[in-house]
Amino acid sequence: MQPSLLKRLESLFRDLMDAAELRRFISNLFGRQITSQLPGECSHELLAHGTVTVLELNDLIDNELFVELVSERPSMRPHIQAVAQEFGFAAVPCIGPDGAIVHSVRTPDYVVRDTYENLRRQSAVLRTLTHGEVHLSRLLGHALRQNDEEFAALPGRVVAWIDAHRHEITLTELKVPLEAAYLAASAFAANPQGALLGSLAAVILGGDRMIHAIQQLVGFASLSEQELYKLALKMVESGR
């Protein structure tokens, strides 16, 4: 579906309802299976964007959606029908032979929700390495301060953590920095004094791979719930 059309539907949702009303409308119309895929606390703009993305992925942008919008906001019928016509719909109910309204058969999937939950799980796991007891960024801090006593045991703990948890990190953008951190931590563990000198020299030259790896891992682990949802939307929209 054309991005410009989806943007029109986002604008329509924002024009018709505030955030609470939009959530209630989607919940009443589609139930928890679809509502559970929407973002949590977020801006009105992101909620409208997330709603349109979820509806498109579940093949729920149809004539019946616009019929329900007209029913919800009858005073806005001309505006709703104008947008519906851009999608190729009349925004009038389909009537069966018996005179009853015919509703669409809907078969939702859970692409956005599952992608978002997967990212949340990876973030939580990674945070134990970057911000928790292991605290990966300390590795660099101890190296820069040449704090031998505090530094001695940390590289081995980092190596052990990555060995135990690397299978839980599936995002491509995280695998490369995680392996870079693993190789660097292994070098520190094998030869702390030489690694310290190498790390300091690399910092001076501005080319230390581990610094970049730590920054990438810490950056992902520090993403907010809203930022993770935005990333999930981007991944789904790009077919990942």
Tell whether 139 and 57 lie within a shared domain.
no
Is the pLDDT confidence value at 138 over 90? Answer: no
Dist. CA 103–CA 120, nearest whole Å: 35
Closest C-alpha among 23, 4, 3 to residue 13: 23
Domain that holds residue 32: 3-108
Q: Beta partners for 95? A: 101
The pLDDT assigned to 207 comes to: 37
Q: Are 165 and 146 in contact (CB under 8 A)?
A: no
Is the pLDDT confidence value at 34 over 90? Answer: no
Tell whether 197 and 224 lie within a shared domain.
yes
The pLDDT assigned to 121 comes to: 92
Is the pLDDT confidence value at 134 over 70? Answer: no
Tell whether 59 and 95 lie within a shared domain.
yes
Tell whether 122 and 204 lie within a shared domain.
yes
- Note the pLDDT tens digit of each residue in 160-208: 989 999 999 999 889 988 888 888 778 777 765 554 444 444 433 333 5
Which tokens belong to 107?
Answer: 């078969």
* Final residue belonging to a domain, choices 81, 108, 135: 108
Give the position of tokens 């719930």. Answer: 225
Tell whether 170 and 128 lie within a shared domain.
yes
Q: How confident is the model at residue 145 (pLDDT cuts 50, 70, 90)?
A: low
- Note the pLDDT tens digit of each residue in 102-113: 555 454 445 677
Tell whether 122 and 7 lie within a shared domain.
no
Say what the pTM is.
0.54
Dist. CA 36–CA 154, nearest whole Å: 40
Specify the number of domains making up the chain.
Answer: 2
**Span 25-37, mean pLDDT?**
85
**Span 26-32, mean pLDDT?**
85
* Final residue belonging to a domain, choices 82, 108, 134: 108
Tell whether 26 and 44 lie within a shared domain.
yes
What are the CA-CA distances from residue 239 to residues 39, 57, 59, 119, 235 (Å)? 19, 11, 15, 16, 6
Average pLDDT, the chain: 79
Q: Beta partners for 101? A: 95
**Span 27-47, mean pLDDT?**
87
Give the position of tokens 């796991």. Answer: 125
Tell whether 133 and 221 lie within a shared domain.
yes
**Span 112-133, mean pLDDT?**
85
**Span 116-130, mean pLDDT?**
89
**Span 128-148, mean pLDDT?**
64
Tell whether 58 and 35 lie within a shared domain.
yes
* Final residue belonging to a domain, choices 88, 108, 128: 108
Tell whether 29 and 103 lie within a shared domain.
yes
Tell whether 122 and 213 lie within a shared domain.
yes
